[in-house]
Amino acid sequence: MRQILVAGNWKMNGSKASIKELLDGIKMGIGDVASAEVAVCPPFVYLADVEDQLTGTPVVWGAQNLSTEEKGAFTGEVAASMINDFSCKYVIVGHSERRTLYGEDDALVARKFAVARAAGLKPILCIGETLEEREKGVTNDVVSRQIEAVIALEGAAALADGVIAYEPVWAIGTGKTASPEQAQEVHRFIRQRIAEKDAAVAQKVQILYGGSMNAANAAELLGQPDIDGGLIGGASLKAEDFLTICRAAG
């Protein structure tokens, strides 16, 4: 049995005050979350606040990105060692916003996955097709290519040290969720693809769904056999919505 993971990606949202309120709400309701592991990924500058407020609770945390460099003259970048300084468990790599807005390609994302893994962080590797790619019928080719870049650099076994998040780009922040059947079909394909390389890893690796998952649609999505949790954007910014998703994980 793979553990369900529900991770909130706060993106570039929040303030000291709003984060305190959000975390107070999450901490208040976390006792009712039976089985899911719950994580939040704040902007870098709030990692210290999150560490302070969540240490000693069941909620874990992570960063939204990392540099491939160890240290030095890389203005604005954040190294894996710095992320580790704040006791992060996870780091998101290859989010579609990083790929599309900041030009991160498969090779760079694979290097980020490798650097995170080497630092003992669990990378959450985001993959997924655009609307144009879905309409062209190349969804499977796109997700294969994105995973293959990591396998080529690190080997298939490395995937078991991370988490995969299938996030159809057309569903992120748009309110258009993939149907449970559409999502399950791609999740099953991803697992089969990994199984061709390493069956044990395919069974073990958690594959999260991301893309407008919310309190109303989470239970059905999380009920699919190959969906092992969610990466949640907008709905992770309200404690009650986020907790409803976490509780929907059974």
Active site residues: 95, 167
Specify the residue, 14 or 234, whose C-beta has the smaller distance to ligand PEP: 234
Question: Which C-beta is closer to ligand PEP: that of 37 or that of 198?
Answer: 37
- Within positions 170 to 209, which residues make up the interface with ligand PEP, using CB under 6 A? 172-173
- Write each residue from 128 to 167 as x if it is in contact with ligand PEP (CB under 6 A), else as -, in one continuous string: ---------------------------------------x
Nearer to ligand PEP, 20 or 238 (CB): 238
Q: Give me the half-sphere count of Cα atoms (radius 13 Å) on the Cβ side of residue 150.
A: 29
Residue type, 22: L
Give the residue, chosen from 23, 79, 213, 245, that forms a contact with ligand PEP under the rule CB under 6 A. Answer: 213
- Residue 124 touches ligand PEP, criterion: CB under 6 A: no
Question: Is residue 210 involved in binding ligand PEP (CB under 6 A)?
Answer: yes
Among 212, 241, 242, 249, binds ligand PEP (CB under 6 A): 212
**Hey, what's the torsion of the CAs at 69, 74, 77, 80, to 10 degrees?**
30
* R_g (Cα) of the chain, nearest Å: 17
Contact 71, 103 (CB under 8 A): no
For ligand PEP, give the closer residue by CB, 67 or 236.
236
Least separation, in Å, of the C-beta of 211 and ligand PEP?
5
Kindly state whether residue 42 participates in binding ligand PEP, applying the rule CB under 6 A: no
The verdict on 211 binding ligand PEP (CB under 6 A) reads yes
Nearer to ligand PEP, 87 or 174 (CB): 174
How many residues interact with ligand PEP (rule CB under 6 A)?
Answer: 13
At residue 249's C-alpha, the angle toward residues 127 and 140, to 5°, is 25
Q: Cα(43)–Cα(65) distance, rounded to whole angstroms?
A: 9
Q: Show contacts with ligand PEP in window 73-92 (CB under 6 A).
A: none
Q: Which of residues 222-241 bind ligand PEP (CB under 6 A)?
A: 231-235
Q: How far is the CB of 12 from ligand PEP (least distance, A)?
A: 11
Q: Which positions lie near ligand PEP, rule CB under 6 A?
A: 9, 167, 172-173, 210-213, 231-235
